[in-house]
Structure 1
Amino acid sequence: MDHFNKDDKYYRAKERIAQIKKFYMSLASFIIFIGFLATLNYYTNEWRNPWFLWAAFGWGIGLFFQAAKTFNFMSLLGKDWEAKKMKEFMEEEDKNKNDEPKIRF
């Protein structure tokens, strides 16, 4: 049974590495291609209309979301968010109850 657990960890780690490699390849493509478009933009109209920024902005949004997924930036949107918040609020309430002074008349 432990053998399957190790295999699962191995394949999850391998998949995670593949996601990271894919992100860095996308980032490299972004830098190269946007650099090419910026150069083309400069030589065609000398920055009077920097149209390459539109391509950089659109692709950049997609790259941002790919990075967020790859590096777990958006833990708020994850599966465990609600459970973590519930636990946090319950612990906070318990702490507040214990900190209240107990006065009896």
Structure 2
Amino acid sequence: MSYKDKNYKQAKERVEKKISFLIHAGVYVVVNAGLITLNLMRSPEKFWFIWPLAGWGIGLAFHAYKAFGAGSAANWKEKMIEKEQRKLDQ
């Protein structure tokens, strides 16, 4: 596998993770907006919508970390390696 093919594969995987998170976040907003509306219309004296909002929110936070934060150290290391490779290629 060439250097460019490897970079393309990594870039594609990163973009797919980010798109997956954005879809997840959109579904989270739509569904929870519906739950909030349902709660406030049917039983406004008791705020039960907080529990699914919080539970799902924890999962969404982990998904965000995986999509945007988990690879930051690895990305930094990869960038340093690429920089050193370019120096050696000169």
TM-score normalised by L of structure 1: 0.65
Residue in 2 that maps onto 1:55: 52
CA RMSD between the two structures: 1.9
2:11 aligned with 1:35? no
Taking the TM superposition and a 5 Å limit, the aligned residue runs for 1:81-96 are none
Unaligned runs of 5+ in 1: 80-105
Q: Cα deviation per residue 1:30-78 (whole Å; 9 max; x = unaligned)? A: 00000000000011112x1111110000000000011111111586xx7
Unaligned runs of 5+ in 2: 75-90
Distance change in 2, residues 1:7/1:74 (3 Å):
closer
Give the fraction of aligned pairs with identical amino acids, expressed as a percent.
35
Give the TM-score, by structure 2 length: 0.75
Query: Which of structures 1 and 2 has the bigger CA Rg?
Result: 1
Flag the structure with higher helix content. Answer: 2
- 1:15 Cα deviation after fit: 0.7
Instruction: Flag as ranges the 4+ runs of structure 1 deviating above 3 A.
Output: none
Give the equivalent residue in structure 1 for 2:19.
21
